[in-house]
């Protein structure tokens, strides 16, 4: 028996025989030269391949059930990628200039895209690499190179094990026989993970070496709650997990069936639960699971590092997102680029301390037109829904004032052009820098709402790079300084009578949610997958109990003492399927 650890991305427990998906080396396309008189033929071969690949994806789309909206959206975006005219133009140019066959041109052009994306550290950007591989595989197959892997038909139930699964492969899986999957790459925001949640398939990603450790026919257990993958379990372990699976299935059904119930404490205090959205595809799931809007809409997915999205592209995307939330609010965060996130065209100089360097709104001096374009797009979209605009990485009052001037200028432009927008669009700030927390009373005079970004607030307060494994143990949400800053922000917002919410990952953890409620927070924005669990926790406690828990936590001198106390104190309220 061997236990492997990964990232749980879709809840549930599955156990049965493994089907190991062997990698197909589509990257080994041998560059084949052609004569000049063969250029037109190869360009036409590529055009025909695009039509063939598009038709195949259309066929897959037609197979999907109408209610499977997320999978349809993702597969639809992949169909659009295959037919992308910019990519087609680059392939044709490669054929014409390098005298190579269409297969080689696809390989060469795609290699450039992959290299650029793979160098980006932000999860929601780097994971688009998997989408590019899927696009490449579809095109090569249409050109006659066998690179597909059939997952649409199995004789018995299986758990799929592989290095990677593309979204196309995931949506085409035999739904009646595939019980779950575990792969070596990916993260919580990959399209494959999103589809797994939509299909209710237990899934674990980021399991290093899983294809080396598992053989076809091995018995495998996937725990989509803990992220564990157990290979060839002994009888006792298998028996335990069978019992857990029954309890977990019942528990999960109860969670989902209760999503329509209000997030309200036993003693009648309502808590507003919104969603953090990485990609538009997640909005449908969030609303289905009971979100009361979107508290953080990350806009960085529109920036691919090669060229900036124009105003019309952004406007259509934002308008579409607003249509999915109805009358509920949707908070657009102005682009937060740099540091560990995507860089921009022409922004190629390295910084010794990128997290403390030219990132986020500090880029306005170098990219004023980029911010102006996004502000105009958001303003235009605000005419079609309950939109709000949020400024990230604010450290000084002058930064808020500068961007409010940009907003006023954009409004005047739209007025002259007679383009409608919401003149009362609310503008708030993320409080995620200690300087902003300590200046909350002054900032509250310029901002119409606060949203506490605990991911960066903790990082900057305790001086710990949250993506550095060597110091990860020092990244402590229960650090006394962090809790005092959060309390201070909430109190200052209350004095200024402006709403305050929290959108960091801290509030997606049930124990911390109880603590944050006790500190005075009434508006949470959490990961969509966490919504059912957080709502259930809220319905199990009183506000008095939450306040007492928070008061006790504030008394501790160390983070470890506070964390240990919180774990014990909240255990009886925390969801536990077994």
Q: How far apart are CA 275 and CA 283, in angstroms?
A: 8
Q: How far apart are CA 214 and CA 232, in angstroms?
A: 9
Task: Please state the separation of Cα 169 from the chain's center in Å.
Answer: 20
List, in sequence order, the alpha helices (H) in 143-272: 167-172, 191-198, 210-213, 235-257
Phi, psi dihedral angles at 101 (to 5 degrees): -70, 160
User: In the Cβ-directed half-sphere of 408, how many Cα atoms lie within 13 Å?
Assistant: 6
Pairing type for strands 178-183 and 203-205 reads parallel
Catalytic residue, candidates 78, 191, 284, 479:
191
Catalytic residue, candidates 503, 507, 553, 562:
503
Query: Quick one: DSSP state of residue 558?
Result: S
Contact indicator for 46, 91 with CB cutoff of 8 Å: yes
- Determine if residue 315 is left, alpha or beta; phi over 0 gives left, psi from -120 to 50 gives alpha, anything else beta: alpha
Cα Rg for the chain, rounded, in angstroms?
Answer: 25
Query: Quick one: DSSP state of residue 173?
Result: S
Q: Name the residue among 541, 548, 540, 542 with its Cα closest to residue 565.
A: 548
Contact indicator for 508, 541 with CB cutoff of 8 Å: no
Residues 6+ apart with CB under 8 A from 400: 391, 394, 429, 443, 446, 447
Assign 3-class secondary structure to 469-517: HHHHHHCCCCCHHHHHHHHHHHHHHHHHCCCEEECCHHHHCHHHHHHHH
Contact indicator for 529, 479 with CB cutoff of 8 Å: no
Is 478 labeled as catalytic in the residue annotation? no
Pairing type for strands 203-205 and 330-333 reads unpaired
Contact indicator for 574, 511 with CB cutoff of 8 Å: yes
Residues 6+ apart with CB under 8 A from 55: none
Strand partners, 427: 389
Residues 6+ apart with CB under 8 A from 281: 70, 73, 74, 191, 194
Residue 479 CA: distances (Å) to CA of 31, 484, 502, 563: 56, 9, 17, 9
Residue 217 exposed, middle or buried by CB count within 10 Å (0-12, 13-18, 19+):
exposed
Residues 6+ apart with CB under 8 A from 233: 1, 15, 219, 221, 241
Q: How far apart are CA 237 and CA 2, in angstroms?
A: 11
Residues tagged active-site: 191, 503
């Amino acid at each position: 028996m061997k236990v492997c650890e990964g990232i749980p991305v879709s809840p549930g427990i599955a156990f049965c025989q493994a089907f190991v998906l062997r990698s197909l080396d589509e990257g080994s396309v041998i560059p084949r030269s052609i004569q000049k008189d063969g250029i037109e033929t190869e360009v036409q071969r590529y055009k025909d391949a695009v039509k063939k690949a598009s038709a195949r994806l259309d066929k897959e789309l037609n197979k999907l059930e109408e209610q499977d909206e997320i999978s349809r959206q993702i597969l639809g975006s992949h169909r659009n990628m295959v037919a992308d005219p910019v990519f087609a133009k680059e392939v044709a140019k490669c054929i014409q200039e390098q005298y190579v066959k269409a297969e080689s041109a696809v390989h060469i052009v795609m290699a450039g895209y992959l290299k650029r994306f793979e160098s980006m550290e932000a999860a929601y950007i780097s994971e688009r690499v998997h989408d590019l591989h899927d696009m490449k595989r579809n095109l090569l197959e249409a050109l006659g190179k066998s690179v597909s892997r059939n997952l649409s038909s199995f004789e018995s139930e299986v758990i799929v094990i592989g290095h990677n699964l593309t979204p196309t492969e995931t949506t085409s899986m035999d739904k009646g026989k595939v019980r779950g999957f575990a792969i070596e790459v990916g993260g919580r925001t990959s399209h494959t993970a999103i589809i797994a949640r939509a299909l209710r398939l237990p899934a674990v990603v980021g399991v290093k070496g899983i294809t080396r450790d598992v053989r076809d026919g091995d018995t495998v257990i996937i725990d989509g709650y803990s992220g564990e993958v157990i290979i060839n379990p002994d009888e006792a372990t298998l028996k335990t997990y069978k019992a857990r699976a029954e309890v977990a299935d019942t528990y999960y059904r109860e969670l989902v069936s209760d999503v329509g119930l209000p997030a309200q404490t036993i003693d009648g205090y309502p808590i507003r639960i919104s969603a953090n959205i990485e990609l538009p595809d997640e909005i449908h799931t969030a609303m289905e699971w009971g979100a009361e809007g979107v508290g953080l809409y990350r806009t960085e997915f529109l920036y691919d590092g090669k060229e900036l999205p124009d105003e019309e592209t952004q406007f259509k995307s934002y308008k579409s997102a607003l249509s999915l939330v109805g009358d509920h609010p949707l908070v657009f965060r102005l682009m937060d680029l740099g540091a560990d996130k995507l860089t921009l065209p022409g922004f190629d100089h390295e910084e010794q301390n990128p997290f403390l360097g030219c990132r986020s709104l500090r880029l306005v001096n170098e990219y004023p037109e980029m911010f102006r374009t996004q502000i105009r797009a958001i303003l235009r979209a605000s005419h079609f829904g309950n939109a709000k605009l949020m400024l990230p990485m604010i450290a000084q009052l002058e930064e808020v004032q500068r961007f409010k001037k940009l907003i006023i200028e954009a409004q005047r432009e739209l007025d002259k052009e007679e383009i409608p927008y919401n003149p009362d669009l609310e503008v708030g700030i993320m409080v995620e820098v200690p300087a902003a927390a300590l200046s909350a009373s002054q900032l509250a005079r310029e901002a119409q709402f606060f949203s506490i970004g605990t991911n960066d607030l903790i990082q900057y307060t305790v001086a710990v790079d949250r993506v550095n494994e060597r110091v990860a143990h020092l990244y402590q949400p229960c650090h006394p300084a962090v809790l005092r800053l959060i309390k201070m922000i909430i109190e200052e917002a209350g004095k200024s009578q402006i709403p305050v919410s929290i959108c960091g990952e801290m509030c997606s953890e049930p124990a911390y949610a109880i603590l944050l409620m006790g500190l005075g927070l009434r508006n949470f924005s959490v990961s969509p997958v966490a919504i059912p669990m957080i709502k259930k926790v809220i319905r199990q406690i009183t506000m008095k109990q939450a306040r007492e828990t928070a008061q006790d936590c504030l008394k501790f001198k160390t983070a470890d003492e506070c964390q240990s106390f919180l774990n014990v104190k909240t255990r009886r309220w925390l969801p536990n399927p077994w």
